[in-house]
Amino acid sequence: MNFSAIAAKCGDGYVRRINKKILIDFMRITSFIILTITISAQLLIASNVKGQHMEEVQVKLKLNKESLAEALEKIEKQTPFHFLYRNEEIREIGKLNLVETTTTLDKLLAALLANSSLSFKQVNRHIVITKKSETSSPLNDKNFYANPIQTKIAIQISGKVIDEHKVGIPGASIWVVDSKIGVTTDNTGSYSIGIPDSNAVLEIRYLGYLTKRVTFKSGAYKMIQLQVDQKNLDEVVINNGLFERKAGTFTGATSTFSGAQLQVVTNQNVLKGLAILDPSFQIIESNSFGSDPNRLPDIQLRGQTGIPDLNSEYANQPNQPLFILDGFEATLQRVFDLNINMIKSVTLLKDASAKAIYGAKAGNGVVVIETITPEAGALRVSYRGSLNITAPDLSSYHLTNSLEKVQAESLAGMYTSPFPDMQASLLRQYTQNQKAALDGVDTYWLSQPLQNGYGQQHSVNLEGGDNAMRYSANLNYNNISGVMIGSSRKTLSGSINLRYRIKNFAFNNILTVDNNKAVNSRYGSFSEYAKMNPYWRMTDDAGVLIPSYQGFSRTVRNPLYDAGLNTKDNSNYRSITENFYAEWSVQKNLRLTGRLGITSQNNGTDYFLPASHSKYLGIQPSSAEYQNRGEYTKTNGKQNILSSDLGAAYNLQFGKSQIFANAIASINTNSNESNGFTMVGFPNDNIDDIAFGNQFRAGSKATGSENTIHTIALTSALNYSYDNRFLADVSYRNNASSQFGANNRWGSFSSFGIGWNLHNESWMKPLTFIDQLKLRASVGNTGSPISNGYLSIATYQYNTSQNYNGDIALQLMGLPNEDLQWQKVLDKNIGLDVFLFKKLSVRFDYFIKDTKGLLTDQITPPSLGFASYKENIGEVRNKGYQAAVNMNILNANRKSLSVFANVAHSTNKIRKVSDAILELNAANDNAAQRPGESLEDRRLRLQRPYARYVPNQSMSTIWAVKSLGIDPSNGREIYEKANGTQTYIYSTDDLVNSGDSNPGITGTFGSNMRFGDFTAGFAFTVRLGGQVYNSTLAERVENVDFAYNVDVRALNDRWKTPGQAALYKDIADLSTTQLSSRFVQDFNELALSSISFGYEFNKLKFLGPNKANRISASVNLNDLARFSTVKTERGLDYPFARTISLSLQASF
């Protein structure tokens, strides 16, 4: 629903109202935070509750030759219990060693008191340690690995514990059975232990490996080889945002990356890291906006499936995946600004079996992000800070210098005129420009608006608690400094995470507050500096900026002049997110869950130009518009999101069968409002408050929009496995949305997946080198999201400029369509997972996605008063494959080396489009000047490729007229017509498929390594196949305006004399070359995307005791080098950049 004529008061009253609103909002936020902190403190105190049992309390403990009393003191700091004992009784236990272990308190005490005469008992909040009559062994506890060293020995032996690759295992526990003698292996896996006699039996344990026993007499103690516990492979879980599934029995196509993996390749944002690690996750590079920190990226997961709204000039992103953050939907903006240090893991859900649980919103894939959760233990403080240096990358720019530019102008005939007076003026201008060039004036304009950006990022996290209550508080500050002077993006965010567990109930609450301010550079578009002639001086003899230049009958403004003015071009938002999760373990196999998420966000933008801006240079004092020079546009908006769900999870195991079932009911409301207005008449740059505007812009008034979407969903999912060999996943989701017509309000989405763990078949057991071999297949349908909430409804807006009989007029904005329904995507996927030799993993997926019922415009008769309405017409097919290979070459003694490679391929084809799109194709083909279009805008439109959606063609097809090259006799281009004949005349009727901008293959490869405390890694990204329309050749070489600077190829490679074989037309031909296949080039590229180095400072004696227990430093370098078959200017309006990040991390 749109509305207009929003009241917009100016002056003092307006300012006071805004300040009051800000004050009230601030008071609300402050009160809310104080209340939350107060409740948190009360809950922390309340963790010492009656009825808390040792079996429910988790303890993390590490001992190094410490007494039992010292151990009990450490335990008291983490738990609500106090110990009662006699000192003389506990002295019988000698010094204790314990590798860092987390277990329940009862198991920990049982292990610490094993083989002693002591026992323990809980009495309310006290634990009493007294004498007992029986002894026990810690080896009876399968979940605990302790190693109290005893001294009564008869034989001293030594040996080594190795893994399946004969690599030493550090930290393995070795016990003498039926005794209290134990040790752990050192960093090489070696050990030395004393045994009481020659009949001793050693028991060796290490997490993830099968427990093994060896006898002294056998001699096997010298080299003990442990085998991997295959059951642990199935314990790896896939988090889909709603629930978890065991990876070993899951049939979906997913990719999961840890926060540590992301930080190795980038320190910027999670989206950049995903694009490097997984080639199916593509950030569509914008050649115009380069590294602009305030530009949200365009993202595709497994290719392009949707057609954008052509009439809104690509305002929406129909291929953007769904983002889930800690179980709740999140916007691209929030994920873009998310602190990468807070990420625990990211999972990409790609096929129907993985993503169908999100139904109507999952057609473009799902990105599930899980943030770090607080850990139990004493209060810990961790800090991470980084200095981020960005340097502009101008390696793709090759402009003429002063002498070359004058020569190019002369050859192009810029100093020649048939009119004597004009010729004399041009000759003077030539003399002036040539003299400046010979005098050494060679201004490098490209560097003037640029800087080396120095950004900084700081993150402080506090966490602690016990098994009943865990808490964390986090504060993040991120200041991104762009490479254009003044360009920045600053984000300040804080969060409080509380986790509380009592008996069978668990609660989790996360409160997050984000504040962001994005400022665009006052220096304007970078392309303005690329156009400036090098023989123009920036300043006069007095050092004052020259405001403008005269050349070839036109006035060219100095962009640096405007950069010195007080202008505004910034945006901001403030959001508060409250996410609450509750869980009730009804019984061992049944769990009930509930979620409630609330997000409130306020947005604002300011754009201000004073009267002194060069935009108004041509307005004379006598003009009626003179008093209205200068403008200020202000917009405000808000978004409120409410989401909640109730779920049940059930698991059952009978015989060889295992079932995991989930049922979830959810509801979501998303509302957006925005309003704005433009005032004009700001006489100088010091008057920069909108209240001082002279009036509304002529013909305008305050406007606004509103959009609300309500959705309901019922979801069920079932996972079945038989003997861990045969697998199946089934899901069904029923969605209802207010966006669609009354006849199709509900949409159903389902999936079915099967899998076969061949490695668990008995006939595969002899092939011991095969650790995993799983076949997967899935089919299902999902939906593609849309943003407009009123497409199917007859929507009216008030027209306050008209009235009838005193009543305000209403205007119908669009035709209703009660049959409008969901866009549906049918996903088919087959996959293979292989793990060999405990080192090599291979994953392969082949997929087909058919999108039907695309929402496109349908033409209506003119008598209806509307040109079109929305209808489910379009169809698109997308298919491709992805392969991922990882290999651990070395993994021993804190030395590791691994390599990885990933490739992805996808194609898309339009199968059906509406008549409205075909008509729009024809309108775009029309070269005639459009209403309100300037000649310069028309010239740019004709030389730039545009989207044409044609059945049986790719959505990324490059349409151009086939060129036969430049005629050597006259320098004119020869075209091939549709009928095969040759012509000099360009016609859109001869447009043909000249290439596809979709790459044939995208991929990544790299390596990660560790040598002791030193780590390093690198990653390359590669693109092979596909084409690109080289706009630099079209706009900066051939269709150039020689009044401005040009690419050096415009001088060197254009036709000049008869008989010359040239790539580009006559240098004196100033006509516009339209879409020509000469500018379509094969695009292959190799980029060094990431290099990282790190060092962990483990021996920090200079800090003294009880100081930092871990400090690490790292260096990340991104976008260092690029090797491409296409030479084009990159970063037209905002340059690309190379980034270096220096990071320091410490925990206390």
User: Would you state the pLDDT for residue 961?
Assistant: 95
Summarize pLDDT for 130-188 with one digit per residue, the tens: 876 433 333 334 333 333 333 345 687 888 888 766 667 776 778 888 776 777 777 66
Cα gap 614→1070, rounded to integer Å: 28
Residue 1046: how many CA atoms within 13 Å on its side-chain side? 27
Is the confidence at residue 587, as pLDDT, over 70? yes
Strands (E), 28-180: 58-66, 82-84, 96-104, 118-123, 126-131, 155-162, 173-176
Cα gap 289→526, rounded to integer Å: 10
Is the confidence at residue 2, as pLDDT, over 60? no
Is the confidence at residue 922, as pLDDT, over 90? no
Cα gap 1113→1142, rounded to integer Å: 8
User: Would you state the pLDDT for residue 138?
Assistant: 38
User: Would you state the pLDDT for residue 33?
Assistant: 44
Cα gap 319→303, rounded to integer Å: 8
Is the confidence at residue 32, as pLDDT, over 60? no
Q: What residues are paired with 1006 via a beta bridge?
A: 900, 1019
- The rounded Cα 461 to chain-centroid distance in angstroms is 22
User: Would you state the pLDDT for residue 863?
Assistant: 54
Cα gap 994→1073, rounded to integer Å: 16
Summarize pLDDT for 501-528 with one digit per residue, the tens: 888 899 999 999 999 999 999 999 999 9
- From 30-44, 401-415, 572-586, the region with the lowest mean pLDDT: 30-44
Is the confidence at residue 426, as pLDDT, over 70? yes
- From 74-83, 743-752, 790-799, 1091-1100, the region with the lowest mean pLDDT: 790-799
Is the confidence at residue 867, as pLDDT, over 60? no
Q: How confident is the model at residue 28 (pLDDT cuts 50, 70, 90)?
A: low
Do residues 34 and 26 make contact, with C-beta atoms less than 8 angstroms apart?
Answer: no
- From 231-240, 271-280, 1063-1072, 1121-1130, the region with the lowest mean pLDDT: 231-240
Is the confidence at residue 306, as pLDDT, over 90? no
Cα 373-378-380 angle, rounded to 5 deg: 60
Cα 1079-1084-1089 angle, rounded to 5 deg: 125
User: Would you state the pLDDT for residue 862?
Assistant: 55
User: Would you state the pLDDT for residue 315?
Assistant: 38
pLDDT (mean) for 1030-1054? 93
Q: How confident is the model at residue 975 (pLDDT cuts 50, 70, 90)?
A: very high
pLDDT (mean) for 466-494? 93
Q: Which residue has the higher pLDDT, 1102 or 256?
A: 256
Q: How confident is the model at residue 603 (pLDDT cuts 50, 70, 90)?
A: very high
User: Would you state the pLDDT for residue 285?
Assistant: 84
Summarize pLDDT for 701-719 with one digit per residue, the tens: 888 888 888 999 999 999 9
Q: How confident is the model at residue 50 (pLDDT cuts 50, 70, 90)?
A: very low
pLDDT (mean) for 1047-1055? 95
- From 7-21, 122-136, 485-499, the region with the lowest mean pLDDT: 7-21
Is the confidence at residue 49, as pLDDT, over 60? no
User: Would you state the pLDDT for residue 1064?
Assistant: 95
Cα gap 91→112, rounded to integer Å: 13
pLDDT (mean) for 242-260? 87
If you average pLDDT over every residue of the chain, what do you get? 84
Q: Which residue has the higher pLDDT, 715 or 931?
A: 715
Q: How confident is the model at residue 242 (pLDDT cuts 50, 70, 90)?
A: confident
Question: In a 10 Å sphere around its CB, with 0-12 CB exposed, 13-18 middle and 19+ buried, how is residue 12 labelled?
Answer: exposed
pLDDT (mean) for 566-572? 95
User: Would you state the pLDDT for residue 101?
Assistant: 76
Who's near 471: CB < 8 A, 6+ residues apart?
Answer: 40, 44, 374, 463, 464, 465, 496, 497, 498, 499
User: Would you state the pLDDT for residue 1046?
Assistant: 95
Q: What percent of the chain has a predicted confidence (pLDDT) above 70?
A: 87
Structural domains in the chain, sorted by start: 149-228 (2.60.40.1120), 240-377 (2.170.130.10)
Q: How far is CA 85 from CA 128, 148, 728, in A?
A: 6, 20, 55
User: Which tokens in the block code for residue 861?
Assistant: 């008769």
Do residues 196 and 175 make contact, with C-beta atoms less than 8 angstroms apart?
Answer: no
- From 281-290, 374-383, 451-460, 807-816, the region with the lowest mean pLDDT: 807-816
Is the confidence at residue 740, as pLDDT, over 90? no
pTM for this prediction? 0.78
- Find the radius of gyration of the CA atoms of the chain: 35
Strand (E) or helix (H) holding 487 = none
Q: How confident is the model at residue 84 (pLDDT cuts 50, 70, 90)?
A: confident
User: Would you state the pLDDT for residue 629?
Assistant: 93
Q: How confident is the model at residue 1098 (pLDDT cuts 50, 70, 90)?
A: low
DSSP string over 364-390: T-EEEEEEPPP--EEEEEEEEEEEEEE
pLDDT (mean) for 417-441? 93
User: Which tokens in the block code for residue 108?
Assistant: 């920990």
- From 767-776, 847-856, 883-892, the region with the lowest mean pLDDT: 847-856
Cα gap 249→729, rounded to integer Å: 9
Is the confidence at residue 191, as pLDDT, over 70? yes
Q: Which residue has the higher pLDDT, 38 or 395?
A: 395
Q: Which value, to the nearest 10 degrees, does the dihedral of the CA atoms of residues 345, 348, 354, 360 take?
A: 120
User: Would you state the pLDDT for residue 52?
Assistant: 60
User: Which tokens in the block code for residue 39?
Assistant: 């409740």
Among candidates 405, 404, 410, which has minimal Cα distance to 1068?
A: 410
Q: What percent of the chain has a predicted confidence (pLDDT) above 90?
A: 48
Whole-angstrom distance between the N-terminal and C-terminal Cα of the chain? 54
Q: Which residue has the higher pLDDT, 166 or 83?
A: 83
